[in-house]
Amino acid sequence: MDQQTLRDRVAECLYSSPAGRQDVAAASFAPVDDPISLVRACLAQSWPDHGPGQVLEDHFTLPHLLGQYPGELLSFQAPPDYTPDRTWGLVVLLHGGGSGTPRETAKLWLADDDGSGGYHFGEKLRELDLIAVAPSNLLQPNHKRWSNPESDAYILGVIEEAMARYHIDPDRVCLCGQSMGGFGAYHIVQTIGDRFATVGAHAGAWYYGFWEAMEAVDFHILHGSEDAAPGTRPRFTDTPFARFAHAVLSGYHLPHTYTEHAGGHSFSDPLARRAADVFFDRATTVRRNPVPDSILTASRKGAFKLYDSPHHFWLSIGDTHFGTFELDHVEPTESQPSYCTTNFRHRLIRCPGGTLRAINHRDNTIELWPHNVDEATVWLNDDMVDFNKPVRILVAGKEVFSAQVTPSLETVIESYGRRRDPGMLFSAKVDLDLKVNDWELQKQIR
């Protein structure tokens, strides 16, 4: 097969429908020297067509995304000195509001500050080494429009579209959410946090958090001490949400950034704007490590409802056992938080599912500690292991796999489908059966 035909087939796998992708991939590819570089070279890009300045309320241009999201609006801003000759960072901006907030709200992030309040960070963002994208939000009948699997997939699509337009470093993608967007940030940092160099949540809230899994994800919590105001703003985004998250992360000794300013809920407050400016400045300096040595994940995550969340960095969880795992829960004492009378309670709860901790010992040995996990996949690339030597996998100290694994183009294509992330591609994988067959051990599973 000549090189152009090979690239055409790879591109067809990457951009066809899921059913078509399976049909194309069913016929195996011949071995190639560097399958990860080949897949990256086959990704769609139109960098020469996009320069400095703003593009407001545009639509998706990648056909598979336009077909999924024909009515959504994307507003972009590139700095005055933008050139595709080098890579840039990206910041995704999630607006606030509620079930009735119109799509047109998103572009206000990129307006200049005229003193009228709201978002208006256009001037600030132009100073930074970042492309900015402010997407409209999927129209859903609730205030959790950024906090569900559909919005997760949409955000990944927004990033994919931005990377096709601009020369973006996949390890310098950041996200900032305000109010309802802050709800989304508390959700996204858990479910797809491995996609981002840092996630910022301003004036947000959460009910569920598997916070101990945040060791490899950078999280910046921002909140105003005057967020709630009797008679003006109820307590549905009050400071306890931020303070509890900060306390729990501190209790797990996990690095994070906590900024509680003395202002209110909206970016019309100068103190809130100042805190956001600090986040944006910091976003230009942080980088994601796509293959951290130590990671922990759970089979289900989410800030307001728990959803299946199988992928995290180089791990995927398959089937889980009948047991449960613990996570943190913040519970307002009233279903609709009031102006004055609501109290908040933090507690640990159990939910069905499993957890998986993993460490790459950096000697071609990876060790796992599963809890209620029956099936798992360990994804590998040459930044993690030496493919010229056998790879060993231990489960709680016991060897369950020892063999040389062979990189393949098919595996790279499959790994791209997890996050559609060119910075987190894997050329080999090991599927593991972790079922506990001993009845006495099964009786001990919590």
- 253 and 335 both lie in a single domain: no
Q: Is residue 6 part of a domain?
A: no
**Average pLDDT across the chain, whole number:** 93
Q: Is residue 24 part of a domain?
A: no
Judge whether 226 and 263 are in contact, CB under 8 Å.
Answer: yes
pLDDT in tens, 98-143: 877 888 899 999 999 877 767 999 999 999 999 999 999 998 878 8
139 by DSSP, 3-state: which? coil
- 168 and 261 both lie in a single domain: yes
C-alpha 36/C-alpha 309 separation (Å) is 25
pLDDT in tens, 183-224: 999 999 999 999 999 999 999 999 999 999 999 999 999 999
Query: Looking at 283, 311, 345, which one is the last position of a domain?
Result: 283
Nearest C-alpha neighbor of 396 from the set 366, 428, 351, 440: 366
Radius of gyration of the chain (CA): 22
Q: Is residue 272 part of a domain?
A: yes
C-alpha 363/C-alpha 206 separation (Å) is 39
pLDDT in tens, 309-353: 999 999 999 999 989 999 999 988 877 767 777 789 999 999 999
- 318 and 277 both lie in a single domain: no
- 233 and 98 both lie in a single domain: yes
Higher-confidence residue of 133 and 30: namely 133
- 74 and 202 both lie in a single domain: yes
Nearest C-alpha neighbor of 273 from the set 115, 427, 102: 115
Reply yes or no on whether the pLDDT at 24 is more than 60: no
Q: Which two tokens stand for residue 412?
A: 């790279």
For 78-104, the DSSP string reads E-TT--TTS-EEEEEEE----TT--GG
- Give residue 25's pLDDT band: very low, low, confident or very high (50, 70, 90): low
- 309 and 392 both lie in a single domain: yes
Q: What is the CATH number of the domain that holds 274?
A: 3.40.50.1820
C-alpha 53/C-alpha 59 separation (Å) is 17
Q: Is residue 170 part of a domain?
A: yes
pLDDT in tens, 141-178: 788 999 999 999 999 999 999 999 999 999 999 999 99
Question: Does the model's pTM come out above 0.85?
Answer: yes
Q: Which two tokens stand for residue 115?
A: 């003193």
Q: Is residue 389 part of a domain?
A: yes
- 54 and 103 both lie in a single domain: yes
- 354 and 394 both lie in a single domain: yes
Instruction: Point out which residues pair with 379 in neighbouring strands.
Output: 429
- 279 and 325 both lie in a single domain: no
Reply yes or no on whether the pLDDT at 68 is more than 70: yes
DSSP annotation of 30 reads: P
Residue numbers of the domain that contains 249 = 47-283
Judge whether 3 and 51 are in contact, CB under 8 Å.
Answer: no
- 278 and 427 both lie in a single domain: no
- 260 and 383 both lie in a single domain: no
DSSP annotation of 320 reads: B
- 274 and 331 both lie in a single domain: no
Query: Looking at 254, 283, 312, which one is the last position of a domain?
Result: 283
- Residue 300 phi, psi dihedral angles, 5° rounding: -135, 135
Res 333: pLDDT: 82
Q: Is residue 1 part of a domain?
A: no
Res 98: pLDDT: 82
Number of domains observed in the structure of the chain: 2
- Give residue 22's pLDDT band: very low, low, confident or very high (50, 70, 90): low
Judge whether 99 and 142 are in contact, CB under 8 Å.
Answer: yes
